[in-house]
């Protein structure tokens, strides 16, 4: 690890910085991702810590294998702020799992909820998740996009860690280890991990899966749009809002470039 970190912070890393006026250095993502291509998750996190200090957040849904990223990240960045989006529609087991991991790993969890309660949403708009594309878009905006935007505004991180993996969706397969959204860098330490690597890490560190995992829920979001999946089926086949497999916060904003230069929001 020391050799790789030294290389990352050596001459070639300096070449990947471009000064923009008097502002903070802007990372040259092409050069940087080339440097990080062979780095381990721990090395990527070490670079994140050395580059951004405490100005880092980690988003977690406390889903099926959430314990992996929470444990992995806090070993390197013990004071990282964990952003938990509570839509108001999560499984009871998810809330209890979040409490369990928060205590066990001494997490600094920051909960962000929609500005409008679930009961009020349903009274005013009905069950948006059962509607057409316009209603589903409104559901995502109210329950996920707006709370996340508020979290980013309030916490003002320079870097955002996320546990997305390239095998999960077609969009995530286009991502690189480091992307950018405005002034925020989006970092994906386990992007290339497969299910076997995830299972090995959890087992080696005596970490639990989400309790619903044993009942066939391998990708877990809101209770009304999550179902169990069969062995051999795509885990995200159990996550549906209309035709969408994405949760909403890891997709590009409407009108933004969805290429590799996207942040993955």
DSSP-assigned letter for residue 223? G
Q: Which position among 36, 70, 161, 247 bears the catalytic label? A: 247
Question: SS3 of 185, please?
Answer: strand
For 45-57, the DSSP string reads HHHHHHHHTT-EE
Task: Based on the residue annotation, tell me whether 55 is a catalytic residue of this protein.
Answer: no
42 half-sphere exposure, CB direction, 13 A CA radius? 8
CA atoms within 13 A on the CB side of 262: 19
CA distance 255 to 247: 18
Closest to 195 (Cα-Cα) out of 220, 161, 232: 232
Q: Would you please indicate which residues are annotated as catalytic (active-site) residues?
A: 247
């Amino acid at each position: 690890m020391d050799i790789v970190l030294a290389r990352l912070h050596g001459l070639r890393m300096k070449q990947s910085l471009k000064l923009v006026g008097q502002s903070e250095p802007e990372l040259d993502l092409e050069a940087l991702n080339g440097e990080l291509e062979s780095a381990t998750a721990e090395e990527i996190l070490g670079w994140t810590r050395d580059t951004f200090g405490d100005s880092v957040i980690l988003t977690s849904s406390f889903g099926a294998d959430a314990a992996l990223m929470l444990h992995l990240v806090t070993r390197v960045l013990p004071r990282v702020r964990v952003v938990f989006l509570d839509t108001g529609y999560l499984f009871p087991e998810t809330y209890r799992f979040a409490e369990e991991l928060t205590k066990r790993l001494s997490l600094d969890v920051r909960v962000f909820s929609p500005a409008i309660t679930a009961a009020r949403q349903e009274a005013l708009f009905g069950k948006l998740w059962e509607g057409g594309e316009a209603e589903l878009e409104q559901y995502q905006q109210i329950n996920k996009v707006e709370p996340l935007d508020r979290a980013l505004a309030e916490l003002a991180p320079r870097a955002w860690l996320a546990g997305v993996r390239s095998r999960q969706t077609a969009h995530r397969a286009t991502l690189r280890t480091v992307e950018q959204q405005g002034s925020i860098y989006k970092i994906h330490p386990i992007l290339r991990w497969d299910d076997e690597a995830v299972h090995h890490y959890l087992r080696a560190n005596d970490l639990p899966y989400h309790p619903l995992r044993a009942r066939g829920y391998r990708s877990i979001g809101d209770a009304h749009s999550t179902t169990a999946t069969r062995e051999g089926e795509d885990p995200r086949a159990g996550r549906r809002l209309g035709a969408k497999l994405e949760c909403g916060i890891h997709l590009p904003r409407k009108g933004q470039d969805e290429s590799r230069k996207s942040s993955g929001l």
